[in-house]
Amino acid sequence: MRKRLLVFSPPAGALVLLAAWWVTQRAGVVDVVPTRDDTFLTNPYAVLVMIG
């Protein structure tokens, strides 16, 4: 029985690590891509153009 557990532990560990990685990274997927209007005020070049 112990040998069977040792055989299945690397794939099971890989699945656990994959699930943990997926849970931590799923918030990084964006639904909305910012448009030019949204990023205009945060662009340093655009701010310099507005100032001057």
Is residue 11 situated within a structural domain? yes
pLDDT tens per residue across span 11-47:
999 999 999 998 888 776 666 776 766 666 677 877 7
Task: From residue 22, give the alpha-carbon distance in Å to each of 1, 13, 27, 28, 30.
Answer: 31, 14, 9, 10, 14
Residue spans of alpha helices (H) in the chain: 2-25, 36-39, 44-51
Sign of CA dihedral 42, 45, 49, 52: positive
- The model's pTM is 0.47
Identify the domain containing residue 8 by its residue range.
Answer: 1-26
How much is the pLDDT for 4? 80
b/e sequence 32-41, b meaning 16+ C-beta within 10 Å: eeeeeeeeee
Is residue 36 situated within a structural domain? no
Is residue 41 situated within a structural domain? no
How much is the pLDDT for 30? 67
